[in-house]
Amino acid sequence: MGKMDGKVALVTGGASGLGAEDARVLAREGAKVVITDMNAALGEEVAASIPGCLFLQHDVRDEARWAEVVAETISRFGRLDTLVNNAGLVRFGTVEALPYDDFRLQMDVMVGGAFLGCKAAIPHMSKDGSGSIINMASVAALKGISSIPAYTAAKAGLIAMTRSIAVHCREQGHRIRVNTIAPGGIVTPMTAQALAELPQDAAGLDQIQNHGMGQPIDIANMVLYLACDDGRHITGTNITIDNGETMA
């Protein structure tokens, strides 16, 4: 018996890093999985490596495409139980240096994209009476990091928005749970690029490296816990997974 038998999961940003690992673990536990991403070549490759997985190209900022993605998921697999709003990106630059377009981009993808995902998914999840939405935040939401002011704002906004949507779902009598996970530094293409491109004394990097980098499975295990019935009493919460980075 898999923990996700009979359930259907949709993972955004599933072509890489954390999203790809979430998809693998959810599928291993019996879920039918749909991954979406802007990167079609990589998305198709990841989907082909996961039995029964469907890839759909999607920029999470595109509201009309959200409706199609949810409709295609339900048409292919019959229902939608789990949404992982994982797609994200980081643009470095202090408040004086970061172009406002890059500020907006990060807010649009990581707050706006998750908002649109919840908006598109909740009406369909509530038809089955229950569901789990997992929004991928970051420890960056919980501290000041001078090199990524927009990223920190987006992830903090995502945590606050998640609480409000969780309360809304409970008020509506839906058994839809909505939570965030805030990872510390995890070994993925995103962090590899940051470590390669940034000067070694850049703000934030030392904090990541000093606390040890985790692996995508460390996050995917919590995604699974929140997605399956083990997490049935958890909603409106942020779960930090950072090897103690934010403890000191």
Ligand X SMILES: NC(=O)c1ccc[n+]([C@@H]2O[C@H](COP(=O)([O-])OP(=O)(O)OC[C@H]3O[C@@H](n4cnc5c(N)ncnc54)[C@H](O)[C@@H]3O)[C@@H](O)[C@H]2O)c1
Provide the annotated active-site residues. 151
**Min separation Cβ 216 and ligand X, Å:** 7
C-beta separation of 147 from 204 below 8 A: yes
Closer residue to ligand X in complex, CB, 31/150: 150
Span between the terminal Cα atoms of the chain, in Å? 40
How is residue 186 annotated by DSSP? B
Answer positive or negative: Cα dihedral of 54, 24, 165, 191: negative
**Min separation Cβ 38 and ligand X, Å:** 4
**Min separation Cβ 173 and ligand X, Å:** 30
**Min separation Cβ 132 and ligand X, Å:** 17
Pairing of strands 54-57, 8-12: unpaired
Amino acid at 194: A
Strand partners, 51: none
Torsion angle defined by CA atoms of residues 183, 246, 208 and 179, in that order, rounded to the nearest 10 degrees = 10
Closer residue to ligand X in complex, CB, 39/221: 39
**Min separation Cβ 179 and ligand X, Å:** 14
Pick from 156, 147, 140, 149: which is nearest to 197 by CA? 147
Crossing angle between the packed helical segments 216-227 and 17-28, to the nearest 10 degrees: 50
Strand partners, 8: 32
- Tokens 């229950």 belong to 130
Closer residue to ligand X in complex, CB, 8/60: 60
Coil, strand or helix at 134: strand
Binding residues for ligand X (CB under 6 A): 12-13, 15-19, 37-39, 58-61, 86-89, 109-110, 136, 138, 183, 185-186, 188-191
Closer residue to ligand X in complex, CB, 31/136: 136
Closer residue to ligand X in complex, CB, 176/194: 194
Reading the block at residue 84, the tokens are 């992982």
